[in-house]
Amino acid sequence: ATADDVYFQDKKKALELAKRAASLKPDPSILDTLAEAYFINGNTEAALKAIEAAINLNPENLSYYLSQKQKFLNKNKQQQGNKEGREIN
């Protein structure tokens, strides 16, 4: 789903496979992939939970995971703003 070539992008399949991989082996890099899969499928809350799990398992790679988390938070904030704007109108 995160491949540059559109031909290889399948967001739903990526999420399905990432969930399966994380259930078999909750490795930080797999959890990061799961977080990214949730993110590209529009589920920022689940993405944040997955990246937090990766941080807890591998705090040595904190700067990378925090940048991922910030990306998810920014998107979540943007989505909340859009939602509030629609409710006002």
Greater confidence, 86 or 27?
A: 27
pLDDT in tens, 28-84: 999 999 999 999 999 999 999 999 999 999 989 999 999 999 999 997 777 676 666
Determine the Cα angle at 3 with ends 33 and 32, to 5°. Answer: 10
Q: Report d(CA 89, CA 9) in Å as an integer.
A: 35
What average pLDDT does this structure show over 12-27? 95
For the chain, give every domain's residue range.
6-79
Amino acid symbol at 2: T
**What pLDDT, on the 0 to 100 scale, is given for residue 64?**
95
Q: Which pLDDT band, with edges at 50, 70 and 90, does 3 fall under?
A: low
Q: Thinking of the domain 6-79, which architecture would CATH place it in?
A: Alpha Horseshoe (1.25)
Amino acid symbol at 67: S
Greater confidence, 88 or 55?
A: 55
